[in-house]
Amino acid sequence: MYVKTVSFDNQAEFLASEKYVNFTTTVSNEGLTADELGTNGKIVNDGTAAGILFSSVDVTEGPQPGALMVEGYVLEARLPVKPADTAKTALKEIKFR
């Protein structure tokens, strides 16, 4: 794993509650055109979604760890990408408001 200092602009808080569950996951760079801020990343927005990635992950140097939210309450309008109905169905433990 490599370490790199990056400055990010603030993003609107999408959590609707202070109670949530995250697990560490490996964010793959497979099939991606990696860029510094992840703007060309691949988003799984269908029935195979496993959770909500808490923040962008730079995979320029290969797969990297990330925080995947699997349970909690979120403000749907503040998510960077609107979840599809099939993704919301797959995310059984995440409640959208």
Q: What is the pLDDT of residues 32-87, one digit of tens each?
A: 765 555 555 567 888 899 999 988 888 888 889 999 999 999 999 998 888 999 99
Q: How far is CA 28 from CA 24, 43, 73, in A?
A: 13, 11, 26
pTM: 0.78
Backbone angles phi, psi at 76, to 5 degrees: -55, -40
The token pair that represents 92 in the structure block:
């059984």
Task: Give whichever of 8-12, 51-55, 86-90 has the largest mean pLDDT.
Answer: 86-90
**Residue ranges with strand state E in 1-97:** 15-27, 52-53, 64-74, 94-96
In terms of pLDDT, which residue wins out, 59 or 20? 20
